[in-house]
Structure 1
Amino acid sequence: MSFDAGLKAHLATGATSVCHAWRIARGDGVVMGFTDHDRELRFDGVVFRADSGLSALALQQGTGLSVDNTEAVGALSDGAIRETDIEAGRFDGAELTAWLVNWAAVDERQVVFRGTLGEIRRAGGAFRAELRGLTEALNRPAGRVYQKPCPAVLGDGACKVDLSQPGYVAERALEAVEDGQKFTFDALAGFDFGWFQRGRLTVLSGAAAGLVGTVKRDRFLEGGRVVELWEPLRAPIVAGDIVRLEAGCDKRFETCRLKFDNVLNFRGFPDIPGEDWQMALPVRSGETSGGSRR
């Protein structure tokens, strides 16, 4: 990546007017800008606030694949980064871009870091967030696993199921909520028992809007429909909030065929031998049908 010519010439003068700017893009679409300058900056359609108290430790980046050793440090405030949003997980994995900027001419700027937010720690009205560079993704194991279940995520590019089709999605208001984890609906007509199990629940309104949970159980109970998540949502959610339920998939070939009519895109290997095949013994009878021998 070449260095910006204008900024390079400015730095060569020896009398500089530079600062840092950060852009955070959360998974729910919210974009926030911060700077350590004493006045706000504007570029790329983002306002970079000067009153956020956000700063960053010196960047230590190398050519290896380890997590870049740097942190973002800032104060928690209602107008900038709120503790409730961190607790709810809204900043988990958020994309972050950092620039070195000539505040007197913001067109003279250079990206010095691009990555995501990692572990976030809170204490004493402040937070410290680990910054993870783009090479972090290269540390993850990759490759195809040969197994009976389908490894694709329902609705992704490999699966290709269109979840917007009728019968796969339901949007309803909650009748009751228990511990932010169990949700009761008065009626979900047209959906079989367990239809949403292993699916997703997305909150569309209220204080928890934008949060997503994975469905553990979907069952009928005392005349209503109860949907339970594996983990409670980390923000207040109350009766009357609107949620979106998406059908779940247990990754089996039969489910792909009968529930989603998507056999052509099934990514598993349903006929692969199971672990009991390792215990098979050779015989002379020539019978290889797998049936019992008498």
Structure 2
Amino acid sequence: MKSIPAQLLADYQSGTHTLAQCVLFSRLDGVEVALTSADVPVVVGGRTYLSDPGLTVTNIASTAGLAVDNLELRLLPDAAIITEADILAGRWNQAGFQLFEVNPRDPSHGINQLMEGILGEVTMQRGGYRTELRGIEQALQQSIVWVTQKTCRYRLGSASHKDGWCRMDLTSYTHAGAFTGIVNAQVWEDSGRAEPTNYFAQGTITVTSGAAQGLRFLVKQYASGQFTLALPAVIVPEVGDTYVAVAGCDGTRDTCRDKFANILNFGGEPDGVGEDELTKPADAYD
């Protein structure tokens, strides 16, 4: 059963106190952002919740079952806290959040924990940002069964129920370097690379220094030290910035066997018959 601190409960019951919502965001890169809907910063548990971006939280829609609790959150742009470039670059994807209510005049009265989960899609609207806050029940909406397919369903290097049982040790397939040329937002170069053509195709490249530090990109093509990304980068590295690139896998049985020597863990069914073969009438086999 949910418990609300006695002093905060008294604030609710009095009807004369102004309550504010506070949200703590935790991005996957370790950055935390604390915001409040109050008109002044609020300090809770030693952390300052900023009021600058103009936080607005809609009413929470909550159910007693396993349906996903959700609500919307709106923010005004703030170059020092949440930038459009960071959003477009994916730094806020799958960020976690904790939402609670507090008496901003006296936070020592305690907090009323309202919701926690992950962010949904972040969009621009009327000069501000809008995002859906999805409750922890969202994880229960995901498919948990495998579907047969010709190519491997596992993520390269994974060893879990979530991403599959590839189990490939990628240490020898992971390579560090520094960019010697930036052609544009989608084509980057390292003249010191000597791997064969398309060695990194379908792999990833993660920038480890500079403005794009921490961002990871999918490699579409690779040849003679030139990486072509699947999509242009929003935040582009500069010459001299460092990176780590991981060899790619196209999911075929031949690649699993010949490139990674990992055929025992191949997660596809390349020899399976198609739907037409399974559903054709018996006399068609004569």
The TM-score bracket by the shorter chain reads: 0.7 to 0.9
1:263 shift after superposition:
2.9
- The CA deviation string for residues 170-196 of structure 1, in whole angstroms up to 9 with x for no partner, is 11111222331111111213x232111
Contact 1:150 1:252 in 2 (8 A): yes
For 2:125 and 2:218, the matched residues in 1 are separated by 29
Q: What is the TM-score when the length of structure 1 is the normalising length?
A: 0.81
- Partner amino acid for 1:148? K
Selected match of 2:121 from 119, 124, 127: 119
For 1:212 and 1:80, the matched residues in 2 are separated by 21
Equivalent residues, number: 276
1:256 shift after superposition:
2.1
Partner of 1:195: 199
1:124 shift after superposition:
5.1
For 1:234 and 1:172, the matched residues in 2 are separated by 21
For 1:238 and 1:134, the matched residues in 2 are separated by 39
1:58 shift after superposition:
1.7
5 Å matches for 1:50-89? 50-63=51-64, 68=69, 70-89=71-90
For 2:103 and 2:215, the matched residues in 1 are separated by 37
Partner of 2:177: 172
For 2:255 and 2:235, the matched residues in 1 are separated by 33
For 2:88 and 2:149, the matched residues in 1 are separated by 37
SS of residue matched to 1:251: coil
For 1:146 and 1:86, the matched residues in 2 are separated by 35
- The CA deviation string for residues 208-258 of structure 1, in whole angstroms up to 9 with x for no partner, is 2222111111113xxxx2111110111132222212111111122332233
After superposition, the CA RMSD in angstroms is: 2.7
Contact 1:211 1:233 in 2 (8 A): no
For 1:179 and 1:210, the matched residues in 2 are separated by 19
1:9 shift after superposition:
5.2
Partner of 2:162: none
Contact 1:20 1:101 in 2 (8 A): yes
For 2:269 and 2:207, the matched residues in 1 are separated by 35
Partner of 2:135: 133
For 1:265 and 1:45, the matched residues in 2 are separated by 48
1:74 shift after superposition:
1.5
SS of residue matched to 1:93: coil
1:118 shift after superposition:
1.9
Partner of 2:233: 233
- Structure 2: which 5+ runs fail to align? 160-164
Partner of 1:26: 27
Partner of 1:289: none
Partner of 1:290: none
Q: Does residue 1:185 correspond to 2:190, yes or no?
A: yes
- The CA deviation string for residues 54-98 of structure 1, in whole angstroms up to 9 with x for no partner, is 221222223567665521111211222223322323223321210
Greater helix content: 2
5 Å matches for 1:214-253? 214-220=218-224, 225-253=225-253
For 2:45 and 2:94, the matched residues in 1 are separated by 22
Distance change in 2, residues 1:11/1:192 (3 Å) = same
Distance change in 2, residues 1:66/1:38 (3 Å) = same
Partner of 2:216: 212
- Partner amino acid for 1:130? E
For 1:45 and 1:236, the matched residues in 2 are separated by 36
- The CA deviation string for residues 115-171 of structure 1, in whole angstroms up to 9 with x for no partner, is 2222222255422222222333333444111223221101222222222x22x1111
SS of residue matched to 2:134: strand
Distance change in 2, residues 1:198/1:11 (3 Å) = same
- Structure 1: which 5+ runs fail to align? 284-294
1:13 shift after superposition:
5.2
1:206 shift after superposition:
1.6
